[in-house]
Amino acid sequence: METIRQSQKTENKADYLRRVTLEGSEQTGARSVVSGEKRTQNGLLREKVLDRNNLNRAFVHVKRNKGAGGIDGMSVEELGPYLKENNVKLIEALRTESYEPQPVKRVEIPKPDGSKRQLGIPTVVDRVVQQALQQQLSPIFEKVFSDNSYGFRPHRSAQSAVKKVVAYYNQGYHYVVDLDLKSYFDNVNHDLLIKFVENYISEPWVLHLIRKFLTSGVMNGRFFEKSAKGTPQGGNISPLLANIYLNELDKELTRRGHKFVRYADDCNIYVKSKRAGERVLKSITQFLEKELKVEVNAEKTQVGSPLRLKFLGFSLGAGRKGAYLRPHQKSKQRVKQELKRITRRNRGVSLDKILKEIKQKMQGWVQYYSIGKMSSFLRNLDAWLRSRIRQYIWKQRKNIGTRFKALVKLGMSHKQAKTYANTRKGYWRNAHSKTLLMTITNKRLTQRGLLNMSQLYQSIQSKA
């Protein structure tokens, strides 16, 4: 493996970067997260960030995650050789605060509702520096983050978040204030963010470096844009900074005694009546917009029932034994639309490619939603998908001769195959015919590589 300082090529060796001697460090340090007292230490965090093991761990993380290059065009594959040659200069620039991050590259990706999410992709070198900083800041803030915060935190997941929703519902909290923050990541106030970081970190070197990343700007095509606010999605440190900012919301909700679950900027507050929900919505909106300078999207924010509203792709069901999780109707519709796109009969790609794409998509989907009830949905989806595959196969066999040979090979008599090969029925109708059901059987489709989602779900459930 390429290293940052030495030339060893094995990933088992972590001792890559030469330890940097920090001379003339100012008397700065980190606040105690317990007592709030300031501890004066000689550049403690700077030393930890620039430690060779920390930097190497950051390099390995960036290399493993791959991803596109930034505005300088450097790829992840080129990162190792570059750092071997330039690590001394890079570390010295960081140590003396002459290091200047490059602007992030603007990239837009489509969202399910048809709008676009704006990402800011830093250069791979800047990603290493951000990751090295994040690795040292995260343990400090993990001690102060709320237990009700789940997004972008170690050993926490969206599944854990929605399980807490079930517990709240069973305790009688049958209404939810579903907050939607308008373009949250693009509107974080830099001065407030630095203030919130400074509540726990008093070392100027760290605060200056964070400020530089926040204000490095954006390259939108060939045009440079200043970044007066926001923390671009795409940076390694952005999720941590976003959580630090919204930790102030968590603290306020806790102070007021509310039941809530937050995953990144997706926050739900649970109450026992609709009137209480409307009252909470009004007061929290005032807090967010006045104290945190964050705009609440009035069109998407609502008070309603967790049985109907969507949170992290789930909604609740209620039975005799209490509440349970299930994929929200929109989540079901969305995945079916994606499968419909993959199996579009005029795609003109091989069946093996189709089956591979289905497997790649649905293994993760079933795994994520496996904590919810969806047996009947998956059975129906399996049956529908098999029909889509039969339709695709039949469409590939365009002429009568090809169909005849294929049907004979699948066990039909010459007479039956000749008759059916000349059918004028439509593709979808043929996909449901007895002939194709008896020849392109479920077993044959499974052997060919079609994922059986119901079996996968049952397998995951049995291991839970």
Query: In the structure encoding, which two tokens stand for residue 335, read together?
Result: 């995945």
Q: Quick: pLDDT tens for 105-154.
A: 988 887 776 677 788 999 999 999 999 999 999 999 999 999 999 999 99
Give the position of tokens 């390259």: 219
Q: How many other β-carbons are positioned within 10 Å of the β-carbon of residue 214? A: 24
Which structure tokens are listed for 321? 């034994």
- CA dihedral for 351, 356, 361, 365, sign (positive or negative): positive
The whole-number pLDDT of residue 2 equals 40
Residues 6+ apart with CB under 8 A from 147: none
| The pLDDT of residue 455 | 97
Query: Residue by residue, what is the 3-state secondary structure of 417-434?
Result: HHHHHCCCCCHHHHHCCH
Q: Sheet holding 116-121: strands in order across?
A: 116-121, 104-110, 218-220, 223-225
Please report the pLDDT score of residue 32 as a whole number.
47
Task: Provide the percentage of residues in the chain whose pLDDT is more than 70.
Answer: 84
Query: What pLDDT score was predicted for residue 394?
Result: 73
Burial category of 270 from C-beta neighbours within 10 Å (exposed 0-12, middle 13-18, buried 19 and up): buried
Average pLDDT, stretch 212-223?
91
Which residue from 102, 118, 131 is spatially nearest to 217, judged by alpha carbons? Answer: 102
For 363, the token pair is 């293994």
Output the pTM of the full model: 0.84
Of residues 277, 274, 245, the one with CA closest to residue 260: 277
Lowest mean pLDDT of 109-123, 370-384, 441-455, name the range: 109-123
Residues 6+ apart with CB under 8 A from 381: 335, 336, 339, 453
Locus of tokens 């630095």: 194
**250 contact partners, CB below 8 Å, separation of at least 6:** 145, 146, 148, 149, 260, 262
Among the residue ranges 87-91, 230-234, 336-340, the one predicted with the least confidence is 230-234
Counts of helices then strands in the chain (DSSP H, E): 18, 12
Pick from 58, 121, 42: nearest CA to 91: 58
Q: Which two tokens stand for residue 199?
A: 């509540």
Report how far residue 418's alpha carbon sits from residue 362's, in angstroms, rounded to the nearest whole number: 37
Cβ(453)–Cβ(442) below 8 Å: no
Report the pLDDT value the prediction gives residue 268, as an integer from 0 to 100.
98
Tell me: the pLDDT tens digits for 33-51?
A: 444 444 434 579 999 999 9
Q: Please tell me the distance from the alpha carbon of residue 393 to that of residue 247, in angstroms, as a whole number.
A: 53
pLDDT tens by residue, 157-175 = 999 999 999 999 999 999 9
Count, residues in the chain: 464
Residues 201-226, mean pLDDT to the nearest whole number: 93
Pairing of strands 218-220, 104-110: parallel
Kind and range of the H or E run holding 380: helix 375-396
Q: pLDDT digit string (tens) for 182-200?
A: 989 989 999 999 999 999 9
State residue 24's pLDDT score.
34
Mean pLDDT of 301-310: 97
Residue 11 is predicted with a pLDDT of 37
**The pLDDT of residue 220:** 87
What is the amino acid identity at position 366? V
What's the CA gap between 157 and 149, in Å, rounded? Answer: 10
Contact yes or no for 188/241 (Cβ under 8 A): yes
Q: How far is the C-alpha of 179 from the C-alpha of 297, rounded, in Å?
A: 8
User: Between residues 424 and 24, which one has the greater pLDDT?
Assistant: 424
Q: Which residue has the higher pLDDT, 316 or 419?
A: 316
Q: Which residue has the tokens 């705009």?
A: 295
Report which DSSP code applies to 41.
E
